[in-house]
Amino acid sequence: MKIDVIRKLPEHLDTLILMQEESGTIQSVEYVPAELLSPIETFMKSEEFSFSYANLKSFSMIVAKRRLNIILLGVGDKEALTPNKLRNLFASAIRTAAKMNARQIYLFPGFTSTVNDVAFGHVLAESALLVAYRFDKYLNSDKNKLFPESLHYVLNTKNTRHLNRGILEGRIYADATNLARDMVNEPANVMTPDALAEAAKRAALQYGFTIETHSQDKLRRIKMDAFLAVGRGSVREPKLIIMRFNGNPDKRQECIALVGKGLTYDSGGYCIKTPQGMVNMKNDMGGAAAVIGAMCAISSMKLKVNVVAIVAACENMISGDAYRTGDIITSMAGKTIEVINTDAEGRLTLCDAIHYAIEKEHADRIVDIATLTGAAVAALGNQFSAVVTNNDAWLEQLKTAASFTGENIWQLPAHDEYKELLKSDIADLKNVGGPMGGAITAGLFLREFVQDKPWLHIDIAGTALKDKESGINPYGATGVGVRMLTSLLKGME
Ligand code: BES
Ligand code: MN
Ligand code: ZN
């Protein structure tokens, strides 16, 4: 989709979005063709339309034998706008336009925002590209459905430098998110551990970060036995994917590790899930997709940070050789783990991946992101991702990033007393802490492997997938985490 800022309108308009603050008037919106003012006002009167926040109405009319779509959208009090509110406003208008089969969208802003031009351009482009995303490659019908070709922001200014910089940045964020969505939406029969590694390689080539993968033999040699135990039930071999971006080579003072859970499918193993619990488990690599997407965006923007991303990709399946409950496995870090539940597999792959990041890649800080627990969904529903940390100062930075990108996060208490729940009589740790506080104990399990490094754990079990479209998100994968991680690292340049 082409996105630009224009001052000259073509002769024929296809779709018009009019955004207006509640106290303003249509007449004051620049460039709106004079002959449209009276039909718009008539429509507003008949509908008793007011430009209160997020109020939206649309209609079509014939002008010079062509159909013209008009979308009215209330901004409410422009002083109360934030980048995220703007993003949601744009999203609802552009989604409406797409549903009206708009090809060229002209957006008329009847307000001047207190959001700065870079952020404004960013959320404009980002929302348009995120809303226009579809995963339709397996649909034989509906294939030729038209989608918007262009979005023109109609503005009377010569100084579009900051807006355009924001548009560029928003496009990078959205493209990376859509790449992650694609990976998650692919079914598990296609997106195997191998295929995930290949997809990451293609992304590395395209965006300019380096990548290395380790196969089973190598993983055995370096004793990633917790990771290997989870993958053992599948005929598809596990793959460790290591991606690096050194944006600050002369100051190699700090390397930040992004560790993403990469279960391409989670049947639960011998502690098998119910059919209902299993149906969406192709999305159990949503954390992996988030870190791969973030690597793309980070390299695109050439951020001055050193980042390594680690994905331990495998499938949790059942077979004669799958791991069992009661098994005691020795993690790469040397800590022994009693397997109480084979469905608590994510933390077993992550604890080795985290240890790998520290030992082999010399990571100084760690963020892990994972569709880790149903308990996080029970606690926060599908609007907030749960966060556990050992470093509140760093969490503040994540909060700033997440509030800009509109990806809601909420901290869970990681009080030491909860650790009792992970005590085993015969090993260093149990892999589950029982029915209470499951999202917390999962986090505390991982904390055992981060040593003294600042660490953020983001549980996206509730937020990685939508069962119906809303805001910037379509049905299916949201790509949650890509923009939040990118923005976090941008703030750490
Ligand atoms: N991948 C699941 C968590 C999940 C649940 C993600 C729902 C998305 C939606 C994870 O591997 C899992 O099965 N967790 C168990 C842990 C339990 C056995 C301690 C869970 O949450 O039930
Ligand atoms: Mn599981
Ligand atoms: Zn899982």
Residues that are catalytic: 273, 347
Crossing angle of helices 161-185 and 193-207, rounded to 10°: 160
- Of 209, 212, 234, 382, nearest to 299 (Cα)? 209
Question: 100 C-alpha to center of ligand 1: Å?
Answer: 39
Average pLDDT of span 327-340: 98
458, HSE (Cβ side, Cα atoms, 13 Å): 31
3-class secondary structure, 327: coil
**CA-closest residue to ligand 1 atom 8:** 461
**Closest ligand 1 atom to Cα of 341:** 18
What's the order of all strands across the beta sheet hosting 409-411?
A: 210-214, 239-246, 306-316, 255-266, 365-370, 455-459, 385-389, 409-411
**Closest ligand 1 atom to Cα of 284:** 1
What's the pLDDT tens digit per position in 135-172? 999 998 866 677 899 999 999 888 999 999 999 999 99
What's the pLDDT tens digit per position in 27-75? 888 889 898 999 999 999 999 999 999 999 999 999 889 999 999 999 9
Domain residue spans of the chain = 2-159, 187-490
Q: Does domain 2-159 have CATH number 3.40.220.10?
A: yes
Average pLDDT of span 172-198: 98
Domains 2-159 and 187-490 share a fold: no
- Of 200, 262, 203, 255, nearest to 230 (Cα)? 262
User: What's the start-to-end Cα distance of the chain, in Å?
Assistant: 30
- Give the pLDDT confidence score for residue 144 in this predicted structure: 62
By CB neighbour count within 10 A (0-12 exposed, 13-18 middle, 19+ buried), where does 59 fall? middle
Question: Cα dist. 403→53, 84, 484 in Å?
Answer: 19, 7, 9
Fold held by 187-490: Aminopeptidase (3.40.630)
For ligand 1, whether the C-beta of 314 sits within 6 Å is no
- Give the pLDDT confidence score for residue 380 in this predicted structure: 98
